[in-house]
């Protein structure tokens, strides 16, 4: 399964690598779970609506979300910091 990162998501993960390794560990855990079960599992997966239709979110913690899109060829990580692009 190919993993694609948006420019924004790459900035987010670099931020976490510098500031909070527990967030990086949680993000990796969420991504591994997405590979096994894209729409169920840990982090309370939720389909997004409106301009985010087709994307899903999972909770990193109470403040931050992992936003992704899944298809048979790849997982696209759009964001992994803040809550829906705030």
Please give the biggest Cα pair distance in the chain. Answer: 33
- Cβ-based neighbours of 79, under 8 Å, separated by 6 or more: 6, 8, 9, 12, 65, 66, 67, 85
Q: Looking at the annotation, which residues are catalytic?
A: 46, 83
Output the pLDDT for position 83.
77
Per-residue pLDDT at 84 exceeds 60: no
pTM confidence score? 0.93
Q: Please provide the average confidence, as pLDDT, over all residues in the chain.
A: 95
CATH-assigned architecture of domain 2-79: 2-Layer Sandwich (3.30)
Tens of pLDDT, residues 33-73: 999 999 999 999 999 999 999 999 999 999 999 999 999 99
């Amino acid at each position: 399964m190919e993993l694609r990162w948006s420019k924004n998501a790459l900035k987010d993960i670099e931020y976490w690598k510098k500031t909070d390794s527990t967030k990086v560990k949680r993000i990796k855990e969420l991504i591994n779970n997405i590979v096994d079960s894209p729409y169920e599992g840990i982090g309370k997966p939720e389909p997004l609506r409106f301009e985010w239709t087709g994307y899903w979110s999972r909770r990193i913690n109470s403040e931050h979300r992992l936003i992704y899109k899944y298809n048979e060829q790849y997982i696209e990580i759009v964001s992994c910091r803040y809550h829906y692009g705030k």
